[in-house]
Amino acid sequence: MKHNIDSKGYYGKFGGAYIPEMLYPNVEELRQNYLKIMAEPSFKKEFDQLLKDYVGRPSPLYFAKRLSEKYNTKVYLKREDLNHTGAHKVNNTIGQILMAQRLGKTRIIAETGAGQHGVATATVCALMGMECIVYMGEIDIARQAPNVARMKMLGAEVRPALSGSRTLKDATNEAIRDWINNPIDTHYIIGSVVGPHPYPDMVARFQAIVSEEIKWQLLEKEGTEKPDYVVACVGGGSNAAGAFYHYLEDTDVKLIAVEAAGKGIHSGESAATSVLGREGIIHGSKTLLMQTKDGQITEPYSISAGLDYPGVGPMHAHLYTSGRAEFISITDDDAMIAGLELSKLEGIIPAIETSHSLAIFDKKTFKKEDVVVINLSGRGDKDLQNYIDYFKL
């Protein structure tokens, strides 16, 4: 079975482009051009150069000695937290701003949950001198205040989304509305492997640098390109897509996707899409979606703003239903404890999103000789206040 996208924009039965007619010209323009543009030598050269000199790639693959000793297995951390702006999101925004320039666009819009994608978008807009508007749920604006301040300082306008759960889903709705109203000059930089085709594929390709690097870094350290496990947290799924990308068709490498169980999978306050979701359409793509019996989207919940999304990218919906990836759900409490543990054991304060993937060691036992690569998707600076409040530090 094939796990990556087919020529029609589907991962198995998931994906496609289910969009209002008024978005069609924008999405079609992108679909017709994205692969051609990405293959241009001048695009590749500029993308690689910026990833190296501006983002600071390659990000290290770090052997976490004390964490490995504690859980009696070999744990490597892929340090996306060390990227400029503090998370993996910037790999994608660098790619998309170059894409927008080549499509002749002058105005950028984006949605953001944790604010990492918003910051990464505001950053590349400052870099390229482009107008930038970021939509963000009102709740997320409150819980990710440092990132809101950063976006403003970088020259972006942050517009609050006031409907629904006032989180990521609602911010995405506002961004789509804006794009419909501004079809000619605007490019929408989607921040994850979600949205209508070609977004999930385009974002996955920009993030694929993560597994491209893991392969040669692991070869240097372990004499093989293949870990036994690759682990990543999943909101929409972009850091996981990047970490899995070059291993998708290699079933020797086991893939683990970690979702947010919030206050418990069946508590009514959760974002565990694979367990709770059914087939549906959200933001232009057919995927697994948390919804009521009559198809209304269920409001998601997670302590981490970046995992608080009722859907999941179509690649992940397919990885789940095909059984290619194992999905594990982690509660707020378990994630917070794991975040504090990494801070104390390794001197690395992770983003709360990332803390979810670090909590798997209490759910799953690995063999001593297993090589487990965890994608450390982001740093915890933006979450310090949340950690302080939670642990009463």
Ligand X SMILES: Cc1ncc(COP(=O)(O)O)c(C=O)c1O
- 302 contacts ligand X (rule: CB under 6 A): no
Residues numbered 227 to 256 that lie near ligand X (CB under 6 A) are: 233-239
Cis peptide, bond prior to residue 198, ω within 30 of zero = yes
Between 235 and 310, CB nearer to ligand X: 235
Any contact of residue 87 with ligand X (CB under 6 A)? yes
Known catalytic residue: 2?
A: no
| Site for ligand X contains 165 (CB under 6 A) | no
Query: Using CB under 6 A, which of the segments 114-122, 136-144, 212-220, 283-291 binds ligand X?
Result: 114-122
User: Using an 8 Å Cβ cutoff, are 87 and 81 in contact?
Assistant: yes
Let me know if 89 is a catalytic residue: yes
Beta-strand runs (E) in the chain: 10-11, 14-15, 61-63, 74-79, 107-112, 131-137, 157-161, 186-189, 229-233, 254-262, 278-282, 285-289, 325-331, 371-376
DSSP character string of 174-238: HHHHHHHH-TTTEEEE--SS-SSTTHHHHHHHHHTHHHHHHHHHHHHHHS-S--SEEEEE-SSSH
Q: Which of 139, 204, 319, 351 binds ligand X (CB under 6 A)?
A: 351
Sign of CA dihedral 316, 317, 321, 322: negative
Catalytic residue of the set 68, 74, 78, 111: 111
Q: Pairing relation of β-strands 14-15 and 278-282? A: unpaired
Figure out which of the listed residues 116, 144, 291, 302 binds ligand X, where binding follows CB under 6 A.
116
By rule CB under 6 A, what count of residues binds ligand X?
A: 20
Catalytic residue among 89, 105, 286, 382: 89
According to the binding rule CB under 6 A, does residue 113 interact with ligand X? yes
374 scored as a contact of ligand X (CB under 6 A): no
Token representation of residue 56: 């600071």
Contact pick of 198, 306, 310, 339 for ligand X (by CB under 6 A)? 306
111 in catalytic set: yes
Question: Mind telling me the catalytic residues?
Answer: 89, 111, 377
**Which residues are at the interface with ligand X (CB under 6 A)?**
87, 113-114, 116-117, 192, 233-239, 306-307, 351, 353-354, 377-378
